[in-house]
Structure 1
């Protein structure tokens, strides 16, 4: 995976420069610079708006006690998309808008969920540190997203189950009397 990031860091600037030059030859130099500035301004406005919406949705899910899976994914996508939008270039802007726009973000969220699910399942299947049992892999019997089932009713059940021998009998005593 590290070699893929290194390759992207080398190729993306080359592709961006090539596309900027091609667009500049078609529409001219100053209009190309103006288009890049307008895209950046539009991206900044969109990031601010969608970032606020994602933050509000995340806070709402915490207040209602709901597991914020979708909200966290949306926040991550807005963050990644914002970074891409603020990077000068047309190719990164296309991906940035795809991650940030509210009508394309569900597609990006599904792709991100599938990618992360495969990565975590692969880690669990390889037995690296027992991640399969703690993150909802095959050992935990988790539910929901493959590789992220550690939040369901079977969460954390990869270890031995308590038996009747492990139960301590007693009663709960309230330290303060009711008022």
Structure 2
């Protein structure tokens, strides 16, 4: 499925399915219980998002205080942010996905699944990891991995100002830039 198909699925098909589920819930439970359910999941999600967000923030600070890279805390923070956004969106499916991103056991399971899928896509070449500059990017030095430097200098682009670089990467490439020393 291409990008346009994915966007259509995300912004057209999913909301239609959500609306159909809410209409069916309204028919079975009644209007006011359905509205109450929507409000309670929203309020409960907001409270849980705040609690998990604070927990992740303190985990992040603790990692930094111990001079460790807070990789898991960053991943947890991103998961909590996305989960909170799903809970703000009215709908049963988005609420289930939102709560699963907020609750640590299901969040860890989903993170492992996404991580393994990304690793597989990098391994089979459907996603290319691109490193900019002279630093070592993610995946540099992996046996069998290809490291691309994607940039054009002023020699290859007459319209570019001297000394500037223009990054060009395809939609399947991830660009990592090394930190300035």
Question: What's the TM-score, normalizing by structure 2?
Answer: 0.68
Q: Does 1:18 align with 2:20?
A: yes
* Cα separation, partners in 2 of 1:125 and 1:140, compared to 1, 3 Å: farther
> Is the Cα contact below 8 Å between 1:51 and 1:75 reproduced in 2?
yes
- Cα shift readout 1:70-99 (whole Å, capped 9, x = no counterpart): 111111110110000111111100000010
Answer whether contact 2:83 2:99 (CA < 8 A) is retained. yes
5+ long unaligned stretches in structure 2: 146-181
2:101–2:110 contact (8 Å) kept in structure 1:
yes
Q: Which runs of 5+ in 1 are unaligned?
A: 147-179
Residues 43, 97 of structure 1: 8 Å contact kept: yes
Question: By percentage of residues, which structure has more helix?
Answer: 1
Decide whether aligned partners of structure 1 residues 63 and 123 sit closer, same or farther in structure 2, where only a CA change above 3 A counts.
farther
Q: How is 1:3-82 mapped onto 2 (pairs within 5 angstroms)?
A: 3=4, 4-82=6-84
| Superposed displacement of residue 39, structure 1 | 0.5
Following TM superposition, by how much is the alpha carbon of 1:119 offset from its aligned partner in structure 2, in angstroms? 4.5
Specify whether residues 9 and 109 from structure 1 end up closer, same or farther in structure 2 by C-alpha distance, changes over 3 A only: same
CA distance in 1, matches of 2:66, 2:7: 38
Counterpart of 1:140 in structure 2 is 141
Whole-angstrom CA distance in 2 between matches of 1:125 and 1:41? 38
CA-atom RMSD, angstroms? Answer: 2.8
Instruction: Give the match for residue 173 of structure 1.
Output: none
Contact 1:43 1:85 in 2 (8 A): yes
Structure 1 segments (4+ residues) deviating >3 Å: 118-131
CA contact (8 A) 1:124 1:130 kept: no
User: 2:117 — aligned with what?
Assistant: 115
Change (3 A) 1:121 1:60: farther
* Alpha carbons of structure 1 residues 124 and 92: separation in structure 2 relative to 1, 3 Å: closer
What count of residue pairs does the alignment treat as equivalent? 141
Report the structure, 1 or 2, having the larger strand content: 2
Partner of 2:25, secondary structure, is helix
Output aligned runs, 1:122-137, within 5 Å.
126=128, 134-136=137-139
